Structure 1
Amino acid sequence: MPYYLILGIVTGIYARYFVIISQKVEHYLKKLSLSRLRKAMLGGAILSLLCVLFPPLFGEGYDTVKASTNGNTQAIIENSFFRYFEIKDWTIILFLLLVCLLKAFATSFTILSGGNGGNFAPSLFAGGTVGYLFALVCQQIVFTDIPVTNLVLVVMAGAMSGVLYAPLTAIFLIAESSLGYDLFIPLMIASVISYLIAKWFSPISPELKSMADQVKALRINTTEIFFLPFTVRIL
């Protein structure tokens, strides 16, 4: 249980980082005031560079998650420039850390520069990578008997819960897709902690914030229209 309690906190912080990067990229692209074509060209150029340097960022990333659960670290970096270095534990840790940090940028530029998609698959991939990274760090510190597959699955649910504000969906999705019904308690712990951390920073889901602001403005306008006849009578 200590693993999953710590993972819930780590995942909640990472989910908040994921959301903040998306907001920063959106603000940056709006500030540039580019046409749709130029915005697509800029996003495509950035994504091309990221995918060349870090191939796991390309596509959905499920193959990388599968390689992580199988312990096949060689398959994760075989197509990257890191393969030219001597493969050591610190090499894998550094590579996965950069993938986790840059996945938020890759997803944001994909969506906000005109591409199709959302945060569903990226949150699962990012969560699986964070879980595997956490397992490797624990193995390097002291612990050797680490349930790597369990950690990967639990953090996938936690990341999805914190990014999409959907803890129940994350819990049942991971449990059903992996047949890991014995992980219900760890899934609940990590997902709920991640969700509470996300709610603490922002009570409303970032994907629904613009809609909530429009509803709030509509309520204010409706109230002003309702009280306008009374104001005219008083005057």
Structure 2
Amino acid sequence: MNLGALLVGTMIFCFPFLYGDSYHSLSEILTHPQSYSFVFLILLIFLKPLASSLTLGAGGDGGVFAPSIVAGAFLGFTFALFCNTFFGTSLIYLNFVLVGAAATLSASIDAPFTALFLVCNLVPNGYALFFPILIGCIISKNLAKRILPYNVYTYHLKSQVKAS
């Protein structure tokens, strides 16, 4: 048995929210925002990309778009929930979900406008948040470039060039 598949299966058994593209999990969290602890949400933020990476590494099917969007959406939601809980703000969860989703996707694929238009089309009237999403996409892309000059599509090319 493949070790990656075993690890992903164990993760999904412990955290069913990781199964599939996780859009249903995100919808469930948005419907009942106060029902989940910060620890659980932070675990989802880190475990979703890990589960996707293990799936791809183990030879499974998967992609970059959905895991990036979902991890960023969980991150945006967690930030808004944190601010609402501890600072008494009244932030709208969906706004931060959309900005987080677009920013994470922009950073991972190095394409801020692709992320912007993709996320704006996820919900009705998504373009009402055009400028906040655009700012998040540009900041995250530039920050990601400073940390690692490669994106998910060009990282493997770096190792092939060094091997030659």
TM-score in terms of structure 1 length: 0.64
Q: Partner residue of 1:120?
A: 65
> Does 1:94 pair with 2:39?
yes
Cα displacement string for residues 146-173 of structure 1 (whole angstroms, at most 9, x for unaligned residues): 1111110111100101111111100001
Q: Partner residue of 2:3?
A: 42
Larger radius of gyration: 1
Give distance in 1, aligned partners of 2:62 and 2:46.
19
SS at match of 1:157: helix
> Does 1:207 pair with 2:153?
yes
Give distance in 2, aligned partners of 1:105 and 1:203.
21
For residue 213 of structure 1, report the CA deviation from its aligned partner.
Answer: 5.5
More helix by share: 1
Give distance in 1, aligned partners of 2:56 and 2:138.
27
8 Å Cα contact 1:159/1:194 also seen in 2 = yes
For residue 200 of structure 1, report the CA deviation from its aligned partner.
Answer: 0.7
SS at match of 1:207: coil
8 Å Cα contact 1:127/1:158 also seen in 2 = yes
For residue 216 of structure 1, report the CA deviation from its aligned partner.
Answer: 7.8
Give distance in 1, aligned partners of 2:20 and 2:46.
16
Cα gap change, 1:98/1:183 in structure 2, threshold over 3 Å: closer, same or farther? same
> Does 1:193 pair with 2:154?
no
Q: Matched residue pairs, number?
A: 163
Give distance in 1, aligned partners of 2:45 and 2:54.
15
Structure 2: gaps (5+ residues) = none
Cα gap change, 1:94/1:216 in structure 2, threshold over 3 Å: closer, same or farther? closer
**Alignment map for 1:156-167 (pairs within 5 Å):** 156-167=101-112
TM-score in terms of structure 2 length: 0.90
Structure 1: gaps (5+ residues) = 1-37, 75-86, 219-235
Point out which structure has higher relative CO (alpha carbons under 8 A, 6+ apart): 1
Q: Percent identity?
A: 36
For residue 117 of structure 1, report the CA deviation from its aligned partner.
Answer: 1.4
SS at match of 1:132: helix
Alpha-carbon RMSD across the aligned residues, in angstroms, is 2.0
Give distance in 2, aligned partners of 1:201 and 1:130.
19
Q: Partner residue of 2:54?
A: 109
Q: Partner residue of 1:155?
A: 100
> Of residues 19, 38, 41 in structure 2, which corresponds to 1:58?
19
